[in-house]
Structure 1
Amino acid sequence: MGIFKELGLREIINASGKMTALGASAVTDDIAQALKDAAQDYVDIDELMEFTGKVIAESTGAESGCPTCGAAAGIAISTAAVIAGENLSLIERIPNTAGLRNEIIVQKGQLVHFGASIGQMIQIGGGKVVEVGQANKVEKDHIEQAITDKTAALMYIKSHHAVQKGMQTIEVMMEVAQRHGLPFIIDAAAEEDFQQYITMGADIVIYSGGKALEGPTSGLICGKKELMEACRKQYKGVGRAMKVGKEAMVGLVTALRQYPLKTHNAEQQIARMTNLCNKLESIEGLTCSVKQDEAGRAIYRAQIHVDEQKTGFSAEKVLHLLEAGNPAIYLRHHYVNVGILSVDPRPLLEGQEDIIAREMIRILSGG
């Protein structure tokens, strides 16, 4: 019996992905042991933070790194770092940055809600959000013309939540930032490649430690040495409210060292999701196919279209009935408004796709 079931909480089948609301990732035994060992011992936190920063640098190819309690904290800390630097008096002013160079330029279609607002995370770090262009169309000129003597950085949000078309590319934003001598920040929270954006030339890149990395609840910032020193300094200011503990840092280090040993299991994902689709196709009104992740990652999900006219159930109704059960089944529901539900195979334990198929068939058959 799992710990949560022992506590009287419902069993969860997570088919929605590495979602914060469901605990992000289930860690390996090695990471779990590292968390336990760290929790039962003592360390100089500053020394551990510096050591963790070195491991982050080794893993990402960056000059240096800074651990955080999550990617959202990484946005706030990175914002504070490009505004206040290592100046303690300014660090202690964050988020009050009136009169300072504090504007952060973001494309309008990337100011998304990921469980909280990207804009709010920037504001916590003292940034004044400058959104450019329109929700579905941004021109290079929009970015260029937004730059003033108050601009502190340009930020790019690499996320499935963000608008995927009509935005300017990373390369374009980076070129503009470099030409104007401004830091370029990429929020790559759920991305799988921990070296790509540093190799491209980004100054600061932010990742979640609990998503693709499958580490504990944590995050990491990597980038230029002086900027990472400034990020670590923010723990004397706004970062104190989002401090990262010894357990998370040790777990993060362990996860980073394990990550190169992992292999993509695309073929297995496709096989499992094809099996699910074959079962669901027996229900009139359900159309199921295997689709690659919208952001181009090596993730292959089952995409289920629920025809309300034929099934008598809306996709939203099916979703709620699955979530209300025990075990509670959580599907990916970003497109539920157009009748589409998705199953992410990555968090599923062996055979759980069969339970999902069985429960969907039971619900739609009136069982």
Structure 2
Amino acid sequence: MHKKDLFCLIPKVDELLNEGRIHLLFERFPRTIIVDTVRACIEEIRQEIIGLNNEEIDCYCLDEDRLIQRIAHQVESAYSMNLKRVINATGVVIHTNLGRSLLSDEIRDEVWNTAVNYSTLEFNVETGSRGSRYTHVEGILSKLCGSEAAMVVNNNAAAVLLVLGAIAKNKEVIVSRGQLVEIGGSFRIPEVMEQSGARLKEVGTTNKTHLLDYERAIHEETAALLKVHTSNYKILGFTQEVLLSDMVALGEKYNIPVVEDIGSGTLIDFSKYGLAKEPTVQESIAEGADIVTFSGDKLLGGPQAGIIVGKKKYIDIMKKNPLTRALRVDKLTLAALEATLRLYLDEKSAIRKIPTLHMLTMPFQEIEEKAKLFLHSIKQLDLKHDVRIERGVSQVGGGAMPLEELPTLLIALKPLDKSVNQIENELRNRSIPIIARISDDHLLFDCRTIKREEFDIVLEAFADILRT
């Protein structure tokens, strides 16, 4: 047999499109995707045949059933969303690559109703005139934070950009060298400040900055004192950092506003739940900060947003700044944020209903119950693989509490007839990807971040992958 004989066996495009199983795809998928996929699969077969050596030619078999299965799979894959749900088995609670904080099931209706219907985004129903989108969250933010005013932009880097652009453009902002952090995605505080038009004035050293360093740097071009919470790293040992209250007193002495970027941002004192102490927004406002910025999708547990709270006279300036238009949030973000913030009116309810807070404060007993249930269910599959419970640690993630280790339990699985990397790859390429960790030739599934209702999805994947 020659290669040209094999080429003759390849079905034509029209033949495959009229094949019953392929024809059924037209009920679910656009014709263009099906036709393009059929052509691509035929070309793949041609390339396979071209690559055959003489010995392989005689053994080559064109299986039409497998070809049709390949076409159907690739059509479904081509039409599926690129941004899709995954199961987070890594134990990193605020996983930046996996979408950071999960929204609460409690707010599903509020967000969906806003998405599929017209809304009061910029309409005042009381006066019948145009309204402001910021009013939807300003009241509750001010109440929760104890601030005079509030507004929201699309992320915390944007919040810092807007604050400095509004109150310090073409002037100097004094900041400690030890607080010039990189905030992720290779973006750095100095670069954000540069884009705002403010000029950076560094004081102190990497490990030590004193109040006198700030005072000596103040002159007629000083527009603000900036304090940045180094939430994504810690300097230990011979260190000195100026307290916010001392910076506020200095700012009042020279009539200069004090801005604090607390990064991850939290409205709850996590130290009450056995975690590391993080500065709360309320504490910063109570200590006198004129403006405080923080993220909505990290420790707050809401959607991606940059939240600005503080003195009304400064917030009003920001609302009128042209940058606000470019950085504004959409209706879905506002709906999700407002609904999430309402849960904070009762702290116990927030801990229970906001997934990020619940996972971070989850009692070890609850993790143990999940792990035992999960292991029992896996053993029911009779997979003939080494599966057991191991102790481990989860991480907070999202650049928050970098030194915090959360005790957890892991399902450790060691495949006997496949490599760990192969299993990890197959789990990652499921229709609902399952993202796990690899350590010492074991796949690790952290029971802190896997939801109970996701067990069946993982079990189905185990049955498909580990039985074959």
Rounded Cα–Cα distance in structure 2 between residues aligned with 1:344 and 1:127: 44
Residue 43 of structure 1 aligns with which residue? 120
Rounded Cα–Cα distance in structure 2 between residues aligned with 1:78 and 1:230: 9
| 1:106-151 alpha-carbon deviations (Å, 9 max, x no partner) | 1111111121212222222222122222212222222222212111
> Given the two structures, how large is their TM-score scaled by the length of structure 2?
0.55
Rounded Cα–Cα distance in structure 2 between residues aligned with 1:197 and 1:297: 21
Equivalent residue for 2:323, pick from 238, 252, 260: 238
Rounded Cα–Cα distance in structure 2 between residues aligned with 1:255 and 1:298: 27
| 1:147-189 alpha-carbon deviations (Å, 9 max, x no partner) | 1211111111123224445222323322322222111111123
Equivalent residue for 1:190, pick from 239, 264, 276: 264
Residue 164 of structure 2 aligns with which residue? 79
Q: Greater Rg, structure 1 or structure 2? A: 2
Superposed displacement of residue 15, structure 1: 2.8
| 1:259-303 alpha-carbon deviations (Å, 9 max, x no partner) | 2332365663555778999x9xxxxxx995689999779965249
Superposed displacement of residue 346, structure 1: 6.7
Equivalent residue for 1:177, pick from 248, 251, 260: 251
Deviates more, 1:180-189 or 1:165-174: 165-174
Rounded Cα–Cα distance in structure 1 between residues aligned with 2:403 and 2:454: 21
Equivalent residue for 1:250, pick from 335, 341, 344: 335
Report the count of equivalent residues. 305
Alignment of 1:1-367 (within 5 A): 7=81, 11-13=86-88, 14-39=90-115, 40-45=117-122, 46-83=131-168, 97=169, 100=170, 102-115=171-184, 116-165=187-236, 166=239, 167-193=241-267, 194-234=281-321, 237-260=322-345, 261-263=349-351, 268-271=362-365, 301-302=406-407, 326=428, 327=433, 329=435, 347-350=449-452
Label 1:271 to 1:43 Cα distance change in 2 as closer, same or farther (>3 A): same
Residue type of the alignment partner of 2:182? H
| 1:18-61 alpha-carbon deviations (Å, 9 max, x no partner) | 24432121111233322222223143534231332222212211
- 2:320 aligns to what SS in structure 1? helix
Superposed displacement of residue 205, structure 1: 0.9
Rounded Cα–Cα distance in structure 1 between residues aligned with 2:337 and 2:396: 28
Label 1:295 to 1:38 Cα distance change in 2 as closer, same or farther (>3 A): closer
Check the 8 A contact 2:367/2:448 in 1, yes or no: no
Label 1:322 to 1:303 Cα distance change in 2 as closer, same or farther (>3 A): farther
Label 1:69 to 1:300 Cα distance change in 2 as closer, same or farther (>3 A): same
Check the 8 A contact 2:395/2:405 in 1, yes or no: yes
Rounded Cα–Cα distance in structure 2 between residues aligned with 1:344 and 1:202: 39
RMSD: 4.1
Check the 8 A contact 2:408/2:447 in 1, yes or no: no
Deviates more, 1:260-269 or 1:52-61: 260-269
- 1:17 aligns to what SS in structure 2? strand
Label 1:113 to 1:43 Cα distance change in 2 as closer, same or farther (>3 A): same
| 1:224-247 alpha-carbon deviations (Å, 9 max, x no partner) | 01111112122xx12222221122
Check the 8 A contact 1:16/1:330 in 2, yes or no: no
Label 1:78 to 1:270 Cα distance change in 2 as closer, same or farther (>3 A): farther
Residue type of the alignment partner of 1:241? A
Residue 361 of structure 1 aligns with which residue? none
Rounded Cα–Cα distance in structure 2 between residues aligned with 1:222 and 1:344: 36
Rounded Cα–Cα distance in structure 2 between residues aligned with 1:190 and 1:29: 22
- 1:129 aligns to what SS in structure 2? strand
Rounded Cα–Cα distance in structure 2 between residues aligned with 1:345 and 1:76: 38
Check the 8 A contact 2:303/2:337 in 1, yes or no: yes
Percent of paired sites with the same residue: 24
- 2:266 aligns to what SS in structure 1? coil
Label 1:177 to 1:222 Cα distance change in 2 as closer, same or farther (>3 A): same
Rounded Cα–Cα distance in structure 2 between residues aligned with 1:104 and 1:347: 40
Label 1:53 to 1:290 Cα distance change in 2 as closer, same or farther (>3 A): closer
- Structure possessing the higher relative contact order (Cα contacts under 8 Å, 6 or more residues apart): 1
Gaps of 5+ in 2: 1-78, 123-130, 268-280, 352-356, 376-389, 410-419, 438-444, 459-468
Residue type of the alignment partner of 1:212? L
Deviates more, 1:292-301 or 1:10-19: 292-301
Deviates more, 1:64-73 or 1:155-164: 155-164
Residue type of the alignment partner of 1:127? A
Residue 360 of structure 1 aligns with which residue? none
Residue 90 of structure 1 aligns with which residue? none
Check the 8 A contact 2:86/2:98 in 1, yes or no: no
Rounded Cα–Cα distance in structure 1 between residues aligned with 2:426 and 2:246: 46
Rounded Cα–Cα distance in structure 1 between residues aligned with 2:114 and 2:391: 48
